[in-house]
A and B are shown apart, each in its own frame.
Chain A
């Protein structure tokens, strides 16, 4: 049971480039989400999904796109990277039945935009 996995661990982009951060979970969790973590700001929710084909915006969605074609995968796309998107990104998942309120986090992707 790998839990929540994220790739890559580190990434450096130039302003205007696009990229996709990958997230996968093997716990059959319906709920998945993306957060960004910035110093002094805690965790801010970018987008979330309650199941395949269903996504919604969080607190800071601008500049990011998501899709959920399978239960396991929830990629985050940066369409045109900006220096303000330099951050550490975490993917999380949780069940919608049973242990409904515990979030399981991936190890994070550290992104730098020059």
Chain B
């Protein structure tokens, strides 16, 4: 069984400020972890993913996330927010070994103020 908890349904930052979106997971097997982004009125698209290897993963648009097994976390960060980063962000987990059914978190809406 696997689950994902995203802390905070809304996160508000000023343009240029650090972005931190929190994700904790539980999984009975080594997890694969994902962040997806959903811009208004669009489908989800992959931002980054961790499967194996380096625990710090870099994605598109300057985002990165670090897999911390001891903390069961996969928080998403970006050093400097842009207005264009305003979107809904979803963390997801799937079981390693080629499992294809991910479990999604409830999403965090990122609001960027000028």
Binding site for B on A (CB under 8 A): 4, 31, 33, 35, 40-43, 45, 48, 50, 90, 92, 94, 96, 100-103, 105-108
> SS class of chain B's interface: helix, strand, loop or mixed?
loop
A107 to B49 Cα, complex, angstroms: 21
Of B44, B99, B100, most buried by chain A (CB within 10 Å of CB) is: B100
Binding site for A on B (CB under 8 A): 9, 32, 34, 36, 41-46, 49, 51, 90, 92, 94, 98-102, 104-107
Q: Which residue of A lies closest to B94 (CB)?
A: A101
Q: Is the CB of B105 within 8 A of A42?
A: yes
**New A-B contacts (10) at CB < 8 Å, excluding given A35-B104, A101-B94:** A40-B106, A42-B105, A42-B107, A43-B107, A48-B101, A90-B43, A101-B98, A101-B100, A102-B34, A103-B92
Q: Is the CB of B100 within 8 A of A31?
A: yes
> SS class of chain A's interface: helix, strand, loop or mixed?
strand
Q: Which residues on A sit within 8 Å (CB–CB) of B102?
A: 101, 103
